[in-house]
Amino acid sequence: MKLLYSSSSPFVRKVTLVAQALGLEGRIERLPSAANPLKRDPRITAHNPLGKVPCLITDDGLAVIDSKVIVEYLCAMAPDDRVLPRQGAERWIALRQQAIADGAIEAAVGLRYEEAVRPADRRWAEWGDGLMSKIDAALLVLEQEFVPPRAEGVLGVGTLATVALLGYLDFRFADRQWRKERPALAAAYELVLKREDVRASEPFVAT
Ligand SMILES: N[C@@H](CCC(=O)N[C@@H](CS)C(=O)NCC(=O)O)C(=O)O
């Protein structure tokens, strides 16, 4: 399998964390790309009309797009109830947590584009505030629902998506200091950060 990726993308990170948890990371070749809402990268658009990463190209040549769908694809390849339960309430709780974390990531990426891509004279402060309030509300729920992390062992998709969110907030929005408002989530996150597999996928800007 091949993964069109960006080293700073939180959605790519979530997929990477899930692949690691399932023991599939060694089967994925990573292809560099430069996703940008304005400058479409032909390396991505050749496979994904939306021009977004992550995009997983299967061994059969199918381009699987959207991180949630890629997570489903990987979990179908190497089913593991600890990552994503196959049935019952636990499955829907895990998918719900992923959806909340993903929605907050979407807001954070949108905010990043507002700050890094939109010309300063065309920005609208209320729009940015609206995105930030989605992130704040998601963090409140995730703090209540974050599965107490273990120092070792397999983490579930809800936790992994939350890790991708928190890592991205630290990476792009460190000045917002989310830990002040959410100390319990911060304490749980510190435990997860002790894990080598989590640290190995921390976001960075490729040079
Ligand atoms: N819903 C998609 C969102 C993916 C996404 O927004 N990726 C960003 C990078 S973090 C991207 O490719 N942006 C380029 C663009 O918006 O055109 C997913 O879960 O994979």
| CATH class (in words) of the domain with range 2-77 | alpha beta
Sign, CA torsion 139/144/147/150: positive
Residue 3, helix vs strand vs coil: strand
C-alpha 131 chain-centroid distance? 17
**Residue 150 pLDDT > 70, yes or no?**
no
- Residue 54 Cβ < 6 Å to ligand 1: yes
Q: Which helix (H) or strand (E) holds 31?
A: strand 29-32
- Residue 37 Cβ < 6 Å to ligand 1: yes
Phi, psi dihedral angles at 154 (to 5 degrees) = -85, 135
Whose CA is closest to 102, among 123, 71, 124?
Answer: 71
CA 101 to centroid of ligand 1, rounded, Å:
14
| Local confidence band at 203 (pLDDT 50, 70, 90 cut-offs) | confident
Model pLDDT, residue 149: 59
- Residue 9 Cβ < 6 Å to ligand 1: yes
The model's pLDDT over 28-68, given as tens digits with 9 standing for 90+, comes to 999 999 999 999 999 999 999 999 999 999 999 999 999 99
CA 49 to centroid of ligand 1, rounded, Å:
12
Joined tokens for residue 206 = 């490729």
CA 118 to centroid of ligand 1, rounded, Å:
16
Model pLDDT, residue 206: 75
| Local confidence band at 171 (pLDDT 50, 70, 90 cut-offs) | very high
CA distance 159 to 163: 6
Q: Are 192 and 155 in contact (CB under 8 A)?
A: yes
Model pLDDT, residue 204: 87
The CATH code that applies to domain 89-200 is 1.20.1050.10
Q: What is the identity of the amino acid at 201? A: S
CA 62 to centroid of ligand 1, rounded, Å:
18
- Residue 11 Cβ < 6 Å to ligand 1: yes
Atom of ligand 1 nearest to the CA of 44: 12
Q: pTM score > 0.95 for this model?
A: yes
The domain ranges of the chain are 2-77, 89-200
Q: Are 46 and 7 in contact (CB under 8 A)?
A: no
